[in-house]
Amino acid sequence: MHRLEVAGPQAPPFVVGTFDAIGPLSHAPFPHRHTFHEIVHVTGGTGAHVVDFTRWELRPPLLGVVEPGQVHHWDVRRLTGVVVVFTDDFLLDPADRDILRGLSEQPCRPLDERAHDRMSRLIAELDEEFRHGGPGAESVLRALLHVLIVRAGRLPGASGSRKPARVQAVAAEFARRMARPDPGPWSVREHAELLGVTPGHLTEAVKAATGRTAAQLLREARTREAKRFLLHTGLTVRQVANRVGFTDPAYFCRFFRRETGLSPGDFRRGIHHD
């Protein structure tokens, strides 16, 4: 998890600079998450930006937005451009959060010549104010950032009705986890943390993609794993319960009976229906 680093305790939670000036983490090749918002204005480079398990091919110039908690990394060569990073506290208008959330659903948005020129000039103003601004610089930065966000929200397709790619990617990754022999954690909350989203977002994404809730799919995976241990290992019922995340064997037996109609013992003895 990458947290915003600023020059000192009195510095505002805002930084702008080129990828090289910001540092290696601004274009890290390994998956990571931020506690802050990131706007990137990519002017050159080849490769892809991978956000929430979706690969977005670079076609500069483009504008990208990464929300706090999104998992992303860069698979690029000769990347150039400017990065703007800031926390929620630095936003001038709370409505800007909704614009940023919408923009993050398409993390690589191509810019035509006119939009690229306007974004370049506005970001250059931000950079100049950040580096050389005098009294009142923080207010100017907040105002310029607000203008940048609002103008980004006006870009073609910024508020389309197409199902967000991020939602599809989160749902697909959760489904892949549920299909594994060992799905991993046994709570929706823990899976949401691993995927870099909230439990509510994960539930909504899975529901939109499958018509079923994340909790339903997790219960099915848990039951399937318990069946596997009961049929193909010599583990005791207590040990099976522990393997699938139950500290109380009696509670596991109630869960298993509710999901299958049989006790673990009956299922193991072959009184089962697949």
CATH code of the domain covering residue 96 = 2.60.120.280
Same domain, 131 and 209: no
Q: What angle do CA 98, 28, 179 make, to 5 degrees?
A: 75
Residue 266 has, within 13 A of its CA and on its CB side, a CA count of 10
Same domain, 223 and 148: no
d(Cα 242, Cα 186) in Å, to the nearest integer?
11
Same domain, 130 and 22: yes
pLDDT value at residue 5: 61
Same domain, 172 and 193: yes
d(Cα 139, Cα 119) in Å, to the nearest integer?
20
Residue ending a domain, among 111, 129, 153, is: 153
d(Cα 27, Cα 46) in Å, to the nearest integer?
13
Same domain, 173 and 132: no
In a domain, 103, yes or no: yes
In a domain, 113, yes or no: yes
The residue type at 82: V
The residue type at 266: D
pLDDT value at residue 193: 86
Same domain, 34 and 123: yes
Residue ending a domain, among 153, 179, 207, is: 153
Same domain, 185 and 263: yes
Same domain, 80 and 189: no
CATH code, 198: 1.10.10.60
Do 81 and 163 form a contact (C-beta atoms < 8 A)? no
Q: Is the pTM of this model over 0.75?
A: no
Same domain, 55 and 34: yes
| pLDDT tens sequence for the chain (274 residues) | 455 565 556 678 999 999 999 888 889 998 888 888 999 999 999 999 988 778 889 999 999 999 888 888 999 999 999 999 999 989 998 889 889 988 887 888 899 999 999 999 999 999 999 999 889 999 999 999 999 999 999 887 655 434 455 677 788 888 888 887 777 788 898 988 888 788 888 888 888 877 788 999 899 899 989 998 998 899 999 999 999 999 999 999 999 999 999 999 999 888 655 4
Task: Give the structural domain span for 20.
Answer: 14-153
In a domain, 205, yes or no: yes
How many structural domains is the chain composed of? 2
pLDDT value at residue 229: 92
pLDDT value at residue 173: 84
Residue ending a domain, among 153, 180, 214, is: 153
Same domain, 215 and 140: no
pLDDT value at residue 212: 82
In a domain, 159, yes or no: no
Q: What is the DSSP letter of 186?
A: S
In a domain, 9, yes or no: no
In a domain, 3, yes or no: no
Same domain, 112 and 198: no
Same domain, 149 and 243: no
In a domain, 93, yes or no: yes
